């Protein structure tokens, strides 16, 4: 899988090269390109933003910089737009990114992320890109960040850990929260008693059937308590 990120803060994406993501790069499972948007500016100040039409606070990122940047980054080896690319635009006004989105994107060959700052990017940048490639505007949650870089790190981690060969034990993501629609229950490791707190005895029983049933009950209970919205409604 090829991942490209366009940003005015390339250094924000350094963690992409750390830990499991870094190992995935070393193993050739993913390759990553981080591009500085300011490389596509032509003025002495390298300006990427301008005042919003219609007035209001803040600044909007300019289509005249983003357009040529995306033309180049969305291109394939022949210099033409690569029709297989998925362009992802992080924005609080997007559809919610979730585990199902991560699963779907893990089948993509190439994803390009466009990181907004200020009040966001001129909408025509994406309306124009959508004439050539698939575009998804997505939010990582109902809160507002300063920029799209952290959202990209979140989404890339969620997607890349699903790629075969990235996690040491492939089964681990199949048992994670959300993979069966529920939250995962509590986990324990040695010692069996710590600060007077005991590991639930069923986990020490060696009875795999019992353990599986207990885990499922815990998972249901936790979901009911913390995220009832994930459970099917009574009707
Ligand atoms: N004016 C925008 C609005 O109200 O929808 C907020 C812009 S925000 C200050 C600047 C950038 O941060 C956005 O363009 C986006 O890239 C990123 N961002 C902020 N919150 C986000 C979220 N919940 N999910 C994804 N990206 C987010």
CA 120 to centroid of ligand 1, rounded, Å: 7
Q: Quick one: pLDDT at residue 159?
A: 98
Nearest CA to ligand 1 atom 12: 147
Q: Is the CB of 151 under 6 A from ligand 1?
A: yes
Nearest CA to ligand 1 atom 19: 145
Q: Which of 50, 92, 128, 184 is catalytic?
A: 92
Q: Quick one: pLDDT at residue 220?
A: 96
Nearest ligand 1 atom to the CA of 139 is: 24
Which own/partner pairs from 35-39 qualify as long-range (CB within 8 Å, at least 24 positions apart)? Answer: 35/4, 35/5, 35/6, 35/7, 35/10, 35/69, 35/73, 36/7, 36/8, 36/10, 37/6, 37/7, 37/8, 37/65, 37/66, 37/69, 38/8, 39/69
Q: Which residues of the chain have pLDDT under 50?
A: none
Annotated catalytic residue 221: no
CA 147 to centroid of ligand 1, rounded, Å: 6
Residue 43's contacts (CB-CB under 8 Å, 6 or more residues apart) are none
Annotated catalytic residue 180: no
The domain segmentation of the chain, as residue ranges, is 2-160, 175-230
Q: Is the CB of 147 under 6 A from ligand 1?
A: yes
What does the pLDDT look like over 209-233, one tens digit per residue?
999 999 999 999 999 999 999 998 8
CATH superfamily of 2-160: SPOUT methyltransferase, trefoil knot domain (3.40.1280.10)
Q: Quick one: pLDDT at residue 8?
A: 98
Q: Is the CB of 98 under 6 A from ligand 1?
A: no
To the question of whether residue 143 is assigned a binding role by annotation, the answer is: yes
ipTM of the complex: 0.99
CATH superfamily of 175-230: tRNA(m1g37)methyltransferase, domain 2 (1.10.1270.20)
């Amino acid at each position: 899988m090829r991942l490209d990120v366009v940003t005015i803060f390339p250094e924000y994406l350094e963690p992409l090269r750390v830990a499991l993501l870094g190992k995935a790069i070393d193993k050739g499972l993913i390759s990553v390109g981080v591009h500085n948007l300011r490389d596509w500016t032509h003025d002495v100040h390298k300006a990427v933003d301008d005042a919003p039409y219609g007035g209001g606070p803040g600044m909007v990122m300019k289509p005249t910089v983003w357009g040529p940047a995306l033309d180049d980054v969305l291109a394939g080896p022949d210099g033409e737009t690569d029709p297989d690319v998925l362009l992802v635009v992080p924005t609080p006004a997007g559809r919610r990114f979730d585990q199902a989105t991560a699963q779907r994107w893990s089948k993509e060959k190439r994803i390009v992320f466009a990181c907004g700052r200020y009040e966001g990017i001129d909408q025509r940048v994406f309306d124009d890109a959508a004439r050539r490639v698939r575009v998804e505007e997505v939010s990582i949650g109902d809160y507002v960040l300063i920029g799209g870089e952290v959202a990209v790190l979140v989404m890339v981690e969620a997607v890349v850990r699903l790629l075969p060969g990235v996690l040491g034990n492939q089964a681990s993501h199949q048992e994670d929260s959300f993979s069966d629609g529920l939250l995962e229950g509590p986990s324990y490791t040695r010692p069996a008693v710590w600060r007077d707190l005991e590991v639930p005895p069923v986990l020490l029983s060696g009875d795999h059937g019992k353990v599986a049933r207990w885990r499922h009950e815990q998972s249901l209970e936790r979901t009911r308590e913390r995220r009832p919205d994930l459970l099917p409604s009574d009707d």
